[in-house]
Amino acid sequence: MLKKVIILLLLSAISLYAIEEHKIKPLMDAKVKKVLLVLKNKSLSQKQKEKKSIGVMDGIFDYHTMAKISMGKRWKTLTANEKKQFTKAFEKKLKYSYIDKLRLYKNQKVIIKDVKKVKPTRITFETQVIGLDGTYKVIYLFYKNKHNNQWFIYDVNLVGVSIVQTYRKQFASFLKTKSFKQLLKSL
Amino acid sequence: MKYVFFSLILTLLLFQGCTAKNELPLQANLHEKTLNTDQTAIHTNTIKNCTTCKDNTNEFEDEFGDETENIIDPLSGYNRVMTSFNDKAIVYVLNPVSEAYATILPQPLRIGISNFLHNIQFPIRLTNNILQGKFQNSSDELERFIVNSTVGLGGLMDPAETYMNIPAHDEDFGQTLGHYGIGSGFHIVLPFFGPSNVRDLVGLSVDGYASPTVYIENIEKYKIPNNIDQSIGILSAEFVNKNSLHLGEYESLKKDAIDLYPFLRDTYEQKRVTQIAE
């Protein structure tokens, strides 16, 4: 009897956990398709397209964590207010960069590859953009937030280059010679 | 005792029912309502309010490594100058030329030229795939070359990829050296070619022997160009043709840089590490 109880307990725990994880693939699938539909919609102006595609992708990006990683060790030395300001500025920068890349979109095909669980707390979602003369890998990296057990994007890898890592290196070398305020301004 | 167990199971089952009930609409929602921004907004708010959370931080610090680590860059002075030279060459020469070229030649033709040039560089890819022991990739490359050179009208088209799903496996000698654990050495920015490093420069020179479009004395009978000038001509045409298919991308990339030289250096080195690992 006790065995049954334990098994039941285990089963219910597993099913709860799995749902959140299995959400990633259909969710990202739908989101990518939605963005492509928006971009292909000729009745929308460029501005509307940008706003809509940002809206689609927004909720799954954890800008706070991205800002924190990009700041590296300096993050701990910042005041709460500075952290807030920086996160806001960084989010804006990322969105601006994303919008700018969207402008380059010219009906390229996007193939959705598989979702891979690389670690218990890390999942990668791979897509391929078919360009005019080659294919480009775009990988979205998810981590599991320990507080609410939800998965969020903390980095995007474009053709082998991590966006957050690139900012992290840039910020570190910038801060070697310049102040945090100057960094905020340059963002 | 039995009664206690019974009630336990009953409550468990009830809870199971509850979660299942909650999950079902969630799943159903996925297909239609996943894009509901209100829902996602709540999602982010929970994250934003969590400024005091300390979890995950150390994990990320390990994952991304030491960002303050000094990179050995003895040529940084020269590299900076060369980066701004290349930048001006792209913005004031390569881009205007490519734009004019793109208005003259229709895009399908430019893609054809790109396919053709990619196809005849097949010896580089084949050799390096073999050298790295990637035999499946090598046979893919061989198959691609045969199919594309014949059915693909001398390489102008890529039926191997489009119809037969055989992908190209770009490998160069720099990657082969990296595959066997040879480090990148310091960074060198080459005129026109852009970012490189000691290892990849060696790789580039070695690949020149395998490339049919690079003129090398004494083995010219295996090569298409008969002299250096022709070799440079082919290379420039390749640059312009390639760039005409990627107009605007360099400018967009540049906007992400706070300081152009270290930005291009880091992205290049990161990209090479990924390519070598593949």
Long-range contacts of A108-114 (CB under 8 A, 24+ apart): A108/A132, A110/A32, A110/A36, A111/A135, A112/A28, A112/A29, A112/A32
CB atoms within 10 A of CB B261: 20
How would you list the strands of the sheet with A151-158, edge to edge?
A: A109-119, A122-130, A135-144, A151-158, A161-162
How many Å lie between the alpha carbon of A4 and the closest alpha carbon of chain B? 9
B242/A64 Cβ within 8 A: no
Average pLDDT estimate for A18-23? 64
Q: What pLDDT score does A180 carry?
A: 92
| Spatial separation of the C-alpha atoms in residues B78 and B65, rounded to whole Å | 28
| Spatial separation of the C-alpha atoms in residues A65 and A83, rounded to whole Å | 11
Residue numbers of B between 28 and 57 with CB closer than 8 Å to A: 30-31, 34-35, 37, 39-41, 43-44, 46-48, 50-51, 53, 55-57
Chain A residue with Cα closest to B64: A165
Long-range contacts of B240-243 (CB under 8 A, 24+ apart): B240/B94, B240/B97, B240/B98, B240/B101, B241/B101, B241/B110, B241/B113, B241/B114, B241/B117, B242/A133, B242/B114, B243/B90, B243/B94, B243/B95, B243/B98
Q: What pLDDT score does B13 carry?
A: 42
A169/B262 Cβ within 8 A: yes
Rounded to whole angstroms, what are the CA distances from A67 to A45, A77, A155? 31, 14, 10
Q: Looking at the predicted structure, is the pLDDT value of residue A5 above 70?
A: no
A65/B60 Cβ within 8 A: yes
Residue numbers of B between 152 and 171 with CB closer than 8 Å to A: 167-168
Rounded to whole angstroms, what are the CA distances from A41 to A37, A38, A51, B270? 6, 5, 13, 35
Residue numbers of A between 40 and 59 with CB closer than 8 Å to B: 55-56, 58-59
Q: What pLDDT score does A22 carry?
A: 77
Average pLDDT estimate for A76-97? 93
Going through B88-159 in order, the beta strands assigned E by DSSP cover none
Give A104's pLDDT tier (boundaries 50, 70, 90).
confident
Interface residue of A169, A173, A180, A183 to substitute, partner B, most B CBs within 10 Å = A169
B59/A121 Cβ within 8 A: yes
Amino acid type, A118 = V
| Spatial separation of the C-alpha atoms in residues B16 and B269, rounded to whole Å | 51
Give pTM, 2 decimals: 0.81
Q: Looking at the predicted structure, is the pLDDT value of residue A157 above 90?
A: yes
What proportion of chain A, given as a percentage, has pLDDT over 90?
A: 42
| Spatial separation of the C-alpha atoms in residues B109 and B115, rounded to whole Å | 10
Q: Looking at the predicted structure, is the pLDDT value of residue A27 above 60?
A: yes
Q: What pLDDT score does B31 carry?
A: 39
Domains of chain A plus CATH, in order, are: 2-186 (3.10.450.710)
- Chain B residues touching residue A186 (CB < 8 angstroms): 258
A171/B67 Cβ within 8 A: yes
- Chain B residues touching residue A16 (CB < 8 angstroms): 19
Residue numbers of A between 114 and 143 with CB closer than 8 Å to B: 121, 131-135, 143
**A169 at B interface, C-beta within 8 A:** yes
Residue numbers of B between 174 and 233 with CB closer than 8 Å to A: none
| Spatial separation of the C-alpha atoms in residues B140 and B165, rounded to whole Å | 10
More confident call, A171 vs A23? A171
- Looking at the partner chain, which of A8, A97, A104 has a beta carbon nearest the beta carbon of B12? A8
How many Å lie between the alpha carbon of A3 and the closest alpha carbon of chain B? 11
Q: Kindly give the confidence (pLDDT) of every residue in chain B, 278 residues in length, as a single tens digit, with 9 standing for 90 and above.
A: 455 555 544 444 444 433 333 333 333 333 333 334 334 433 444 444 444 444 567 788 888 888 877 778 999 999 999 999 999 999 999 999 999 999 999 999 999 999 999 999 999 999 999 999 999 999 999 999 999 999 999 999 999 998 999 999 999 999 999 999 999 999 999 999 999 999 999 999 999 999 999 999 888 888 999 999 999 999 999 999 999 999 999 999 999 999 999 999 999 999 999 999 98
Q: What pLDDT score does B24 carry?
A: 34
- Chain A residues touching residue B276 (CB < 8 angstroms): none
Q: What pLDDT score does B95 carry?
A: 97
- Chain B residues touching residue A161 (CB < 8 angstroms): 267, 270-271, 274
- Looking at the partner chain, which of A11, A133, A160 has a beta carbon nearest the beta carbon of B114? A133
B255/A100 Cβ within 8 A: yes
Amino acid type, A130 = I
Q: What pLDDT score does A91 carry?
A: 94
**A101 at B interface, C-beta within 8 A:** yes
